[in-house]
Amino acid sequence: MLDFSQLLPFSLASLIIILSPGADSFVLLRISHSRGVKDGMSALWGINLGNTTQALLMISGVGLVVSKIAAAILVLKILGGIYMSYLAIMAARAAIKPSLVSLSAPAGNPSSAEGAPVKKGSPFMQGLISNVTNPKPLLFYLAFFPLFIGKATNVPLQLSVLSSIFIGMALVWQTVIVYAAVKLSETMKSARFNRIMDVICAIAFAAIAALIFAEI
């Protein structure tokens, strides 16, 4: 049996958390702004495959076991910090020398400003990697979701419903990010604006990497 009285407070608390910018938001922002809706949505599905995987780990109890293995969390933190550092470097390179960019191109244009071909990585994999190499979502699920079990007699089902609500809300907000970033890119068509966006993303990725490494 589910405890439906927990769904509204959970949804309100989740909304606040989802609207808070994080690594996934900046990955979506940069890919969508520079590469368009199709790649932005591809990154979105990669991110939420990671979210779904971590939710399933929580529901099955495997996540709790993993969270208690210090070495596993350490490895994830190191990988996450390295990947965020990589994204920061790529964004910085794009801001300094657009022709060297390897993660993005102007929206709707498969080439850089100088006409050189752009090496595109898979946006789906970029989204997935940014999520699964970050142990914070799993630790968040383990700490946050049990607060809303309430009087549910079927705990796995309650957690499944909560996970579905959370991921569904995240999908809606992330879709807004994708389309807003693309619209912004179409409206502000200038090399200077693109560089400003790359600088913002580079700073954000570097800050996230620094925070991850600071916890090691």
Is the Cβ–Cβ distance between 23 and 94 less than 8 Å? no
Is the Cβ–Cβ distance between 119 and 102 less than 8 Å? yes
pLDDT band at 98, cuts 50/70/90? low
What pLDDT shows up at residue 61?
85
pLDDT tens sequence across 51-91? 999 999 899 888 778 777 878 888 888 988 899 999 999 89
What pLDDT shows up at residue 6?
93
What pLDDT shows up at residue 113?
40
Torsion from C-alpha of 115, 116, 122, 123, nearest 10 degrees:
-40
Domain ranges across the chain: 4-214
* Residue 139: both structure tokens together: 């630790």
Q: How far is CA 12 from the centre of its chain?
A: 20
What pLDDT shows up at residue 37?
94
For the cut 60, the answer to whether the pLDDT of residue 109 exceeds it is: no
pLDDT tens sequence across 15-42? 998 998 888 999 999 999 989 999 999 9
| Biggest CA-to-CA distance, the chain | 62
- % of the chain residues with pLDDT over 70: 89
Q: Lowest-confidence range among 1-5, 163-167, 193-197?
A: 193-197
What pLDDT shows up at residue 51?
92
pLDDT band at 136, cuts 50/70/90? confident
pLDDT tens sequence across 166-182? 999 999 999 999 999 99
Rounded to 10 deg, the angle between the 23-35 and 70-96 helix axes is 30
Mean pLDDT of the chain: 85
